[in-house]
Structures are given as C-alpha cells and as structure tokens.
C-alpha cells in the first residue's frame, strides 16, 4: 500500500523535457534541463491554476520539491534500475491495471452502475432450489438437469409440493437440508450476477422460471422485498464465551451489566470497564457502519436495526461469539449515486456483469483494428485435432503447428501454431463428446484474448494520455525503489546508525513529569474499604483484583500505568504526591488513586519512541542524500525563467 500511495502521489510528474531552445529554462541539473512548459504542466496537474494564480512562495515550494524529484529519478536511471526483471514485471502489472479503463465501454458501464445502484435501494429475500450441472456437461446430462428442475417447478406451481419441501428433499445445494433453501435478504453484488438478475426480475411471492448459472439450473422464490434500511452505526458491550459451558456465566455477567445500564450508569463507562471485544473497547464500543445484508450474525443485525431512537440500547443478545448489549449511535440511508459511482464502477469491473461491457468493446476493437477471420482455415485446423482434446491431453502434430493463418488483427497474423500453443496452455478434461464444439470454444476465447491483447499493446500509439501515464508510473516505481533503499529500509536496517542518531539527539525526546499510579474503581463503599486494606499491604494488583471480584465480577476495575498530564482524566484531577487520594463518589461507585512514585523529566528510551526517532532519522538520511545528489548533478535555477511562470 505504501508503494501504491507513493506512486499515486508522483503521477503528476511527466519527464519529456522539451528541447525548444527559445523556451524559458526553469532549472538545470547535471546535463538535463527543465523548461517552462514542463514545469507548468506538472504544477497544473496538482493545482487549479485557472481560478487561482500561484503565489511566488507556492512556486518556490513546488520548485524545490520538483528539483528533488528530478534528482532522485535521474539517479535511478543512472543505476539502470529500469532494466531489472523485477522492475519490468512490476511495471507490467501496473500497466494491466492502467489499461483497464481503455478496454471497457463507458456507456454500458454507466448503465450497469445505475442498475446496481437501483438494486441497492431494495433488498430481496429469496429461497432457491439447485440441480447441479457443469458448463461442459454432455448435452444429454444438461437436458436431464433441465427437465428435473422444470418438473420440480411444475409440481410447485400445481401445489403438489411446497417450495420449502422441494428445496429440502430435492435441491442439490447441501445447505438446503438445514435452511430449506432460504438465502435470506441480499442486495446487489452479493450473489452471482445471473442469480441477482433473476431475483430482482421476479415478483414477490412468485417462483422464477428455470435459469442456468455456473453451478447448474435454479429456480428461486422471492419471499419478500423491502426498501433498504440503509446503514447503521452501533456500539456494543460484549461478554465472550468459548464453548457451551461458558454461556451461563457470560449471561450472568451481561445481565449484571444490563442492570447497571437500567439503573442509569453510563454506557461508555461500562464498555471501558467490562467489554471483551478488544477491537472496539478502546473506541467506546463503536463498530464501523454496516448494512442489514452485512456478513454479521443475523440476531445482531436484527437487534441493531430494531432500535428506534438514537441512544436506545438492546436487552442482551446472544450470537455465536458471545452476549451483546447494543446501543444505536447513528443511521443513514443509501448514499446518493454521485457519492457511490466510483465504488460501484470498481465493483462492476470485478463482477460477472463486466462481461456485458467486454462483449461491446470486443466488437468495437474488431472493427477499429481490422480483425479478419479465416473460417476455412479454422475448419481445416479442427480436422487436425483428435479426441485427446476432450481428455485435456492433446499434443499437436506437425499439421496443427503450421504458419497457416486463422485470423489477423491489423497486420498481425495468428497461425495454427499460435492457436495450438493457446489450446495446450488451457486445455482441461471436458464432458462433451464433440471435438468441434470444444475447438470453437477455444477459438472464441483466443479471438477475444488476442483482440484485447493487441489493443493493450498499442495503447501508447492511440492515446497520448496513456503514454504519459505509463511514463509517470515507470518513474514513480523507480523513485520508490531507490528512496526505499536509500532512506526507508536503511533507517530500519541500519540499527547502529539509528542508535547513534538517537544518542546525538536524545534531548529532543523527553518525558514530562510523570506518575506511576493506579486507579481503583470500586462498585460500592464496602468494596472500596476492602480494596484499600489490600492496597496498603502493597499486594500486587492482579491479586487484589482476583480477591475482590471472586464473588462479584463487577466489584472492582483497576487501571495501572505511568501517566503524563493529559493521559488520564482522573489522574489529572488530583495533586501529584505519593499516597492514596480519594475522589468524590459517583453514585454508588467509589474511586481512589494510589500514586506510587512521582517521576522527574527524563529522556525517553529509544524503544519507547522508535517510530518517531525512525521518522526523524529518515528525514536526516533524506537531507544527506539530496545534498549528495546535488553535488553529483549540480542544480542551477534560472530566476528570469522562473519569473515567467504562469504569465
């Protein structure tokens, strides 16, 4: 992720420096020159210069940044880092990603985005029945599966059997034995696209026609349709149990917490004291936003969305993970299309529905790139293939590996030999007995792959912006790799250098005055008295906690640590001196603090500020490196040229 972010930040830079002698020079470095047009172009990609004239300071700040960038990139090329196999492979991966927007039909994609958004506004509750059938099953087996699903549908429509009974007894989906085929509520992108389509195109209470997916033949029944309730944000208190034996004890504890809530105690305080969901405990029990179709326990979701008013909390709810008390924090409807468009576009590109766009693009590419098929040669090629192809073990003979052309794209010819290699790489056993059918399938796949591959290979020639973008990524990857070597990884691996840097600068990293203290939060006066007696005996906190909570698991909580001002609100309220300090009662709760030691300011140990010290060391390494590059590639700025910028 760090590399992707780094490359994204640097994609505003293009390196084709113009050689126009009359154009104002902005700066030179080594033997290279940056002209006015280049600097204005890269600055404008990251700043709105049409509505706001850059100030002199903004230009100077950007100029310094750009000089450093150019120096680092020049050094990367001088080290021939762009010739390594690792770099070439990585750039190829990014190229695949960057090419994708050029290989889709925007109009079709926009239609699919709108369709998906409209479906997000509604949830469907569906049951289904499956009769398994693979894509390459023999026609007779496919027909048997189709007749079987059709017969089941007929029995249901004639009320000879209920849908639930048919699912339980006849469906080949193993889960039907436990759920009668019920899938529950879902929305867009949660099922494969053909299934989603049929669900949304079937009326409430109706049974669909038979339809096929990659898994076989289905029929489905729409049990309910409802507007999406949107998203909800909740906080919860959770008491875990790991097995059935622990359920009762966990229930006793959650009930005690629930009783405290009903008596008026603060939800967030109880989260802090008792919740055993350690991923949310430090954030007042708050969970991230989720929808009613999220992959969460059904009981948890239903209890959450059943809460009517902000601030309401549920009675204890049991899930497979433990007991929960849920508090409603916020709820919102589905965000407008404009806010979701980019996310939906990404999901469409990763979903089966993307094939719709691919087919449209394929036909366009065939025309633009002058695709020509040679059906006669395809027929001749098919005659060279034997039934071993059906077993996935075909080995082409000489007559299958000639230079005879089966199709062309532009001036590129694709031969028997090319096609044979493709089949060899992708053949698998088939259930059909028709060799010609399998060859035709391979041919269609090969035609599609080669048309898209041809287009991808020629994108730089057709689209200038793609050419520039590839250059930006090329330089961005090199810059990342070299900076990582010279700064980031070095700061981590050079432990001696980091330690020396720390020793020379340790006064930058000082603790303020601190106290070594413990906060004892007691359920009542009786518990507080018992706790104080044990504290005065200097017993360990763990032993005190165990003794006091033996009968009542909520009797005592302890917070122990070393604190600066601002790190603990209770510690901040008291005078910092050794001994016990009582706080005013809070209802039945009694709180007191034991300060064991007041600690004067001292330098923090390196292991205590490793992140900060490492960041400072990186800045030091970066500055040192830039100075070395400036010595190697002397930089000269041209004030006259700089004064012409954006004028």
User: What pLDDT is recorded for position 135?
Assistant: 81
Please indicate whether residue 140 or residue 438 has the higher confidence score (pLDDT): 438
- Tell me if 119 sits within 8 A of 196, measured CB to CB: yes
Min mean pLDDT across 57-61, 133-137, 386-390 is at 133-137
Rounded to an integer, what distance in angstroms lies between the CA atom of residue 166 and that of residue 179? Answer: 12
Quote the distance between the C-alpha of residue 145 and its chain's center.
Answer: 39
Instruction: Tell me the average pLDDT across 623-632.
Output: 96
Tell me the pLDDT band of 18, cut-offs 50, 70 and 90: very low
User: What pLDDT is recorded for position 525?
Assistant: 92
**pLDDT score of 60 more than 50:** yes
Rounded to an integer, what distance in angstroms lies between the CA atom of residue 107 and that of residue 357? Answer: 9
Tell me the pLDDT band of 101, cut-offs 50, 70 and 90: confident
User: What pLDDT is recorded for position 16?
Assistant: 42
Rounded to an integer, what distance in angstroms lies between the CA atom of residue 111 and that of residue 357? Answer: 10
User: What pLDDT is recorded for position 10?
Assistant: 52
User: What pLDDT is recorded for position 2?
Assistant: 53
User: What pLDDT is recorded for position 20?
Assistant: 43
Q: What is the DSSP string of 157-188?
A: HTTSS-HHHHHHHH---TTHHHHTTEEEEE-T
Tens digit of each residue's pLDDT (9 = 90 or more) over 410-466: 999 999 999 999 999 999 998 888 899 999 999 999 999 999 999 999 999 999 889
**Mean confidence (pLDDT) of the chain:** 92
Min mean pLDDT across 18-32, 499-513, 573-587 is at 18-32
User: What pLDDT is recorded for position 647?
Assistant: 87
Structure tokens at 557: 């909580």
Instruction: Tell me the average pLDDT across 619-639.
Output: 96
| % of the chain beyond a pLDDT of 70 | 97
Sign of the C-alpha dihedral computed for residues 132, 136, 138 and 140 taken in this order: positive
Q: What is the DSSP string of 200-240?
A: HTS-TT-BPPPEEETTEEEEEEEEEEEE---EEEEEEEEEE
**pLDDT score of 190 more than 70:** yes
User: What are the Cα distances from residue 515, in Å, to 185, 475, 579, 581?
Assistant: 54, 51, 11, 13
- Tell me if 406 sits within 8 A of 414, measured CB to CB: yes
Instruction: Tell me the average pLDDT across 605-613.
Output: 93
Instruction: Tell me the average pLDDT across 324-329.
Output: 97
State in Å, rounded, how far the first CA of the chain is from the last one.
39
Tens digit of each residue's pLDDT (9 = 90 or more) over 336-377: 999 999 999 999 988 889 889 899 999 999 999 999 999 999
Give residue for tokens 């085929």.
181
| Bridge partner residues of 211 (DSSP) | 218
Backbone angles phi, psi at 28, to 5 degrees: -120, 155
Tens digit of each residue's pLDDT (9 = 90 or more) over 548-557: 999 898 999 9
For 555-631, strand residue ranges (E) read 556-563, 579-582, 590-599
Largest CA distance in the chain: 99
Please indicate whether residue 97 or residue 626 has the higher confidence score (pLDDT): 626
User: What pLDDT is recorded for position 6?
Assistant: 54
Structure tokens at 81: 């880092």
Tens digit of each residue's pLDDT (9 = 90 or more) over 25-54: 999 999 999 999 989 988 998 888 888 889
- Residue ranges of domains in the chain, CATH in brackets: 1-78+465-509+609-647 (1.10.4030), 122-227 (3.10.50.40), 232-330 (3.10.50.40), 370-457 (no CATH), 514-599 (no CATH)
Contact partners, residue 442, CB within 8 Å, separation at least 6: 419, 422, 423, 426, 427
Entry field: residues in the chain:
647
Tell me the pLDDT band of 612, cut-offs 50, 70 and 90: very high
- Calculate the dihedral angle through the C-alpha atoms of 157, 161, 165, 168, rounding to the nearest 10 degrees: -80
């Amino acid at each position: 992720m760090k590399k992707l972010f780094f490359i994204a930040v640097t994609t505003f830079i293009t390196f084709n420096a113009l050689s126009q002698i009359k154009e104002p020079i902005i700066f030179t470095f080594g033997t290279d020159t940056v002209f006015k047009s280049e600097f204005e172009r890269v600055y404008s990609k990251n700043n709105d210069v049409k509505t706001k004239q850059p100030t002199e300071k903004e230009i100077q700040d950007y100029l310094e940044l750009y000089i450093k960038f150019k120096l680092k990139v020049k050094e990367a090329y001088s080290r021939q880092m762009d010739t390594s196999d690792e770099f070439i492979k990585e750039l190829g991966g990014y190229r695949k990603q960057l090419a994708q927007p050029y290989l889709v039909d925007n109009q079709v994609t926009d239609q699919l985005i709108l369709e998906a958004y409209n479906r997000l506004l509604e949830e469907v509750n569906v049951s289904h029945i499956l009769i398994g059938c693979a894509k390459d099953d023999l026609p007779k087996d496919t027909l048997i599966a189709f007749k079987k699903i059709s017969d089941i549908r007929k029995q249901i429509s004639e009320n000879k059997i209920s849908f639930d009974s048919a699912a339980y007894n006849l469906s080949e989906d193993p889960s039907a034995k436990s759920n009668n085929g019920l899938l529950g509520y879902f929305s867009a992108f949660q099922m494969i696209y053909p299934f989603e389509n049929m669900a949304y195109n079937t009326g409430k209470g109706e049974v669909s026609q038979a339809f096929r997916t990659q898994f076989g033949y289905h029929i489905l029944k729409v049990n309910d349709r409802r507007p999406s309730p949107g998203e909800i944000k909740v906080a919860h208190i959770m008491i875990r149990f790991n097995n059935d034996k622990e359920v009762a004890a966990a229930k006793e504890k959650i009930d005690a917490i629930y009783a405290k809530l009903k008596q008026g105690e603060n939800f967030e305080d109880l989260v802090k004291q008792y919740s055993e969901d350690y991923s949310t405990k430090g954030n007042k029990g708050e969970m991230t936003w989720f929808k009613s179709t999220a992959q969460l326990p059904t009981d948890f979701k239903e209890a959450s969305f059943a809460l009517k008013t902000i601030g309401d909390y549920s009675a204890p709810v049991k899930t497979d993970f433990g007991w929960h008390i849920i508090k409603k924090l916020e709820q919102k409807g589905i965000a407008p299309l404009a806010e979701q468009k980019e996310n939906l576009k990404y999901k469409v590109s990763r979903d089966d529905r993307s094939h719709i766009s691919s087919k449209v693009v394929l036909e366009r590419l065939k025309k633009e790139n002058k695709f020509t098929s040679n059906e006669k040669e395809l027929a001749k090629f098919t005659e060279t293939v034997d039934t071993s192809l059906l077993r996935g073990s075909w080995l082409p003979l000489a007559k299958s590996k000639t230079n005879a052309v089966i199709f062309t794209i532009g001036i590129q010819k694709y031969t028997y030999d090319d096609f044979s290699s493709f089949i060899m790489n992708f053949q698998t056993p088939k259930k059909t007995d028709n060799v010609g059918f399998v060859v035709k399938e391979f041919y269609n796949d090969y035609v599609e792959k080669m048309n898209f591959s041809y287009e991808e290979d020629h994108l730089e020639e057709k689209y200038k912006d793609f050419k520039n973008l590839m250059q930006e990524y090329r330089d961005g990857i090199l810059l990342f790799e070299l900076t990582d070597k010279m700064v980031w990884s070095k700061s981590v691996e050079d432990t001696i250098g980091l330690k020396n840097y720390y020793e020379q600068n340790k006064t930058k990293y000082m603790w303020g005055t601190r106290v070594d203290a413990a906060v004892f939060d007691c359920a009542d006066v009786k518990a507080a008295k018992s706790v104080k007696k044990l504290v005065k005996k200097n017993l360990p906190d763990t032993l005190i906690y165990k003794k006091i909570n033996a009968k009542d698991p909520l009797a005592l909580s302890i917070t122990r640590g070393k604190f600066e001002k601002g790190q603990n609100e209770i510690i901040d309220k008291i005078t910092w001196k050794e001994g016990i300090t009582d706080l005013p009662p809070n209802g039945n709760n009694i709180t007191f603090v034991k300060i064991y030691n007041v600690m004067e300011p001292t330098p923090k140990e390196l292991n205590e500020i490793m992140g900060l010290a490492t960041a400072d060391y990186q800045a030091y390494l970066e500055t040192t490196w830039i100075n070395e590059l400036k010595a190697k590639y002397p930089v000269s700025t041209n004030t006259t040229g700089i004064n012409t910028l954006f004028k």
